[in-house]
Chain A
Amino acid sequence: MNNVCIPPAFIFIIGGLLVPFLSGKARSTYVVLLPVVGFINLISIPMGTLMTLPFLDYTLTLVRIDRLSLAFGYIFHIISFITIIYILHVKKNLEYVAGFIYSGAALGTIFAGDLFTFFVFWETLTVGSVMLIWARGTKASAAAGFRYLLVHVTGGLSLLAGIVMMVIKTGSIKFGFIGLTDAASWFIFMGIGVNCAWPFLHTWLTDAYPEATIGGTVFLSAFTTKTAIYALARAYPGTELLIWIGVGMAAFPIFFAVIENDLRRVLAYSLVNQVGFMVVGIGIGSELAINGAVAHAFNDILFKGLLFMSMGAVMYRTGKINATDLGGLYKSMPWTAAFCIVGAASISAFPLFSGFVSKSMVMSAAGNHHMIAVWLVLLFASAGVFHHAGIKIPFFAFFGHDAGHRVKEAPPHMLIAMGLAAFLCIFNGTFYKPLYSILPYAATYEPYTLSHIVTQTELLFYSALAFTLLLLSGIYPAEMRAINIDFDWFYRKPLNAVEALCARIFNGINSVCDLIFVKTLTAQINGFAVNATAKLTNGLLSPILRANAINHGPDEKPPSSQLVPRDVDVEKAFSTGTSPIGIFAACAGLMIVAMYFFA
């Protein structure tokens, strides 16, 4: 087999770097065509390709095409294409370049066949994504970007440590199944876990995603967590710990989402919740479960992207994103509202929408293995996600209390992008066979049984009933102009206080040292070096000088003809090196005498 091909990542990254050379219509055409070219390249690479490259003593595998990597490759191309269309209003080049580097890095990561290539692209992912956060240009985004960077660099270091330990131990850089065995595997596991937004490690996501640019958040929602899902599916399938991590991820964010005011942050929480389902699937590790995780990643990229796009469009038109400032927008943005509802129905897993055919695979796998607690929590999370992402997002933005915004519908390119994503959400939910055909394992699962349709609809309708009754009765928590602290509180407040304390202590020591050594001691030594001889001379000459002063009195001017020793000048003369010959000679003589005695 011919194993040489153009690595998909290169098309995106190199192509992205060329964007600044174009402008106007040419640039728009170029950026839209780039993912298309990438996709054509991808489907022309045969299955099973392993493109290798010798590097030092190792062999890098730049491209590995198998069923697992290809499924992610398809969806990464699709969402890049959609998101690029969505951001065509953006004038600055930065977002396009960062977007392509970021998505290119994601492609590089999933097609990497060795740990070294994997790591390089993994870190590029961080660089590209942080640019999308900083591109917003606000103070909040700058700060959030730095926190994001610190967390990811720490995760990256853990990954690197694990990789180095593993390569030293095994001598191979191949990236395949690892499993939790030794310290090295734990380091890699945790490094991936940071990007996967595991509980306690998730705060970079809910902190930074809502601070990114309108289009940046759409990009972000697609790649970082999903490459982590890919990496887990590749290296840690069937790791039992993942089941419990995933259960935690699915459960806790929904509580935060219910009381969160920033609607993009609500979506960020629900992103963690959805990734939880995928992590559970990988943890279970059966063919059905892995298929479910991959299918759900595929669908989640689309419906979460769609939801972020609809909220971005709202933000673009109204300048607001808090639920307290929104409402009634269905009047002015009906299409955006409709697309948002499609996204909401998909994430809630309504029959005929994409979540229905993928989330249920993970649920079913948990059921097949008789994991009672896991299954119950996931069912709870399914009801909960409908509650906050399915109802809350569309309701508070487009319906509910009319906030009086009378704006234009989203621009055409945004509508096209949302339309494409909405179409795919419905297509995948209704005609699920094409999606099932690209999954890692042969999919025999049948989502459309009468039992599944009725039970799922029942679950959702009664969740909606709870929402309606709670809202009508006034128990439903009113949206408030407030923020909710999360685990990032620990590094934003106490750690900040520790930093302030350290600053106090060390700056204190520093200023004391400065006072003692720099200001006092150095000055004294310096003064001694400069003035010592003068002082000494002055002292020795003092009988003469004093006698002179007594002869004339302090204010009396001596007669000009008389030779007068200028007492006040002695020190000055020494410090400037202009002492009279006589004094200099006297000093030299005294020095010789002193040396005679002391030597």
Chain B
Amino acid sequence: MKNEKKHMFDNPKNVKRLLAIFFTSVVILFILDFFVHKHAHFPWENWPVFYAIFGFVACVLLVLVSRFILRPLVKRKEDYYE
């Protein structure tokens, strides 16, 4: 594949650039949160960066539970049912 056209993410610089943009927007959102008035149904929605923390923690928990609890319980070989 030497002669193949170089694609966007073949260049590590572009990957870094993308990550940099992503991390910047994460920080901007964090700051922005303090300036937005929330239409809250529940009191904790007014806590600063509640949604950010919730999203992050939810996904970490999701991955940890799936990987370390669910997978050992349910993983089988591909020909298990055959």
Interface residues of A (CB under 8 A from B): 254-256, 258-259, 330-331, 364, 367-368, 370, 372, 375, 379-380, 383-384, 387, 399, 404, 406, 449-452, 454-468, 470, 475-477, 480-486, 492-493
Contacts and interface: CB of A to CB of B under 8 A. Distances in A.
Interface in B6-52: 7-9, 19, 22-23, 25-26, 29-30, 32-33, 36-39, 41-42, 45, 49, 51-52
B75 A462 contact: no
A455 B74 CA distance: 35
Nearest to B59: A466
B interface SS class: helix
B51 A455 contact: yes
B77 to A, nearest CB: 6
Nearest to B15: A399
B36 A466 contact: no
Nearest to B77: A482
A259 to B, nearest CB: 5
A450 B36 contact: yes
A370 B19 CA distance: 38
B56 A465 contact: yes
A465 B58 contact: no
B29 A461 contact: yes
Contacts of A455: 36, 38, 45, 51
Interface residues of B, number: 46
Interface of B: 1, 4, 7-9, 19, 22-23, 25-26, 29-30, 32-33, 36-39, 41-42, 45, 49, 51-56, 58-60, 62-67, 70-71, 74-78, 80-81
Given A258-B66, A383-B58, A462-B53, A367 B76 contact: no
B22 A451 contact: no
B78 A482 contact: yes
A484 B29 contact: no
Given A367-B42, A375-B41, A454-B33, A462 B51 contact: yes
A452 B39 contact: yes
Given A380-B62, A404-B1, A462-B26, 15 more contacts: A372-B42, A399-B9, A451-B39, A455-B38, A458-B49, A462-B55, A463-B55, A465-B23, A465-B26, A465-B56, A470-B59, A475-B64, A476-B63, A483-B78, A484-B76
Given A384-B62, A387-B62, A470-B63, A259 B75 contact: yes
A485 B25 contact: no
A451 B67 contact: no
Contact of A258 (B22, B33, B53, B63): B63
Given A454-B36, A455-B38, A258 B62 contact: yes
